[in-house]
Chain A
Amino acid sequence: MTTQSNVDEVTLSIWDQVQYTADLCVKCNICTSFCTVANVTDLFPGPKFVGPQAQRFRNPHEISVDSSVDYCSGCGVCTLVCPHGVKVMEMNAKARYKLYKEKKWLPIRNRMMGRTDLVGALGSAFAPIANAVLSNGPIRQVVETVFDVHRHAAFPPFSFETFQGWCKKVHKKSKLVSDKRVVFFHGCSINYYEPYLGKAAIAVLEHNGYEVIVPEDQVCCGLPLLSNGEFDAARDKAHTNIDSLVKYAHQGYRIVGTSASCTLSLKSDYKHILDIDTADSELVARQTYDISEFLLELAEAGTLKTDFNPIEATFPYHSPCQLKTHNIGFPAIELMEMIPGVTIKHMQADCCGQAGTYGYKKEKYQIAMDVGKPLFDQILETGSKVAICDSETCRWHIGKATGAKMIHPVELLAQAYGLLNYGKTTKS
Chain B
Amino acid sequence: MNKYDVVVIGAGLGGLTVACQLAQANKKVLLVSSGAGTLLLASGCVDVLGFQPMDSREPIKNPLDKMATFLTENPNHPYTFTGQENMETGLNAFLQLVNRSSLNYQGSVHRNWLLPSGIGAIHPTCLAPLSLANGDLSKGGTMLLVGFKELRDFYPMLVSQNLNEQKLGVQADAVTIDAPAPIGGNMNVTPIELARAFEKADFRREVVKAIKNSKVIKSSGKGYDRFGFPSVLGLNRHAEVLADLEKQLGKTVFEISTLPPSVPGRRLFEGLRQTFLQLAKGRFLMGTKVVDGTIEKGRVTQIRIDTASELKTIKADHYVLATGGIFGGGLQTDLTGKIWEPIFGLPVVSNSDRHTWFADGFLEPQGQPVNQYGVKINAQMNPVDESNQPLSENLYLVGAIIANSDWTRGRAGEGVGLATAAAVIKQISG
Contacts and interface: CB of A to CB of B under 8 A. Distances in A.
B190 A32 contact: yes
Interface string A13-36: 000000000000010111011100
B3 interface: yes
B190 A2 contact: no
A325 interface: yes
A28 B260 contact: yes
User: In the complex, which of the residues A83, A85, A348 has the most CB atoms of chain B within 10 Å of its own CB atom?
Assistant: A83
B177 interface: no
Contact of B306 (A267, A285, A327, A344): A327
A223 B46 CA distance: 44
Contacts of B305: 327
B193 A40 contact: yes
Query: Chain B contact residues: over half helix, strand or loop, or mixed?
Result: loop
Given A28-B41, A39-B196, A330-B277, A82 B310 contact: no
Interface in B268-324: 270, 274, 277-278, 281-289, 291, 305-310, 324
Nearest to A345: B278
Interface string B223-248: 00000000000001000000000000
Interface stretch (A162-170, A331-339, A394-402, A413-421): A331-339
**Interface residue tally of chain B, by bracket?**
35 or more
Interface in A288-313: 288, 300
B190 A33 contact: yes
A267 B310 CA distance: 8
Contacts of A326: 307-308
Nearest to A289: B309
A79 B308 CA distance: 12
B40 interface: yes
Contact of A267 (B193, B281, B308): B308
A28 B261 CA distance: 7
A42 B34 contact: no
B188 A325 contact: no
6 contacts: A4-B289, A39-B196, A85-B34, A327-B307, A329-B284, A330-B284
Contact of B291 (A2, A29, A319, A334): A2
B107 interface: no
Contacts of B38: 83
Contacts of A42: 186, 188-189
- In the complex, which of the residues A33, A40, A331 has the most CB atoms of chain B within 10 Å of its own CB atom? A33
Nearest to A82: B35
Given A327-B305, A329-B283, A346 B278 contact: yes
Given A39-B193, A85-B289, A348-B236, 10 more contacts: A28-B40, A29-B260, A30-B41, A30-B260, A33-B260, A45-B188, A80-B286, A85-B34, A327-B287, A332-B282
A307 to B, nearest CB: 21
Interface centre among A28, A334, A374 (most CB of B within 10 A): A28
Nearest to A335: B281
Contacts of B327: 26, 83
Interface string A311-328: 000000001000011111
A30 B309 contact: no
A83 B306 contact: no
A40 B283 contact: no
B328 interface: yes
B270 A348 contact: yes
A73 interface: no
A81 B36 contact: yes
B192 interface: yes
B34 A83 contact: yes
A59 interface: no
Contacts of B3: 300
A327 B288 contact: yes
A262 to B, nearest CB: 13
Contact of A324 (B36, B189, B262, B287): B287
A85 B193 CA distance: 25
B309 A285 contact: yes
A41 B283 CA distance: 32
Given A81-B36, A324-B287, A334-B281, A30 B274 contact: no
B266 interface: yes
A29 B274 CA distance: 22
A46 interface: yes
A333 B327 CA distance: 33
Interface in B91-150: none
A331 B283 CA distance: 8
B146 to A, nearest CB: 21
A325 B288 CA distance: 9
B308 A80 contact: no
A38 interface: yes
Given A30-B35, A80-B35, A328-B285, A348 B274 contact: yes
Contacts of A85: 34-35, 289, 329
Contacts of B286: 80-81, 324
Contacts of A80: 35, 286-287
Nearest to B286: A80
A337 B283 CA distance: 13
A39 B282 contact: no
A84 interface: yes
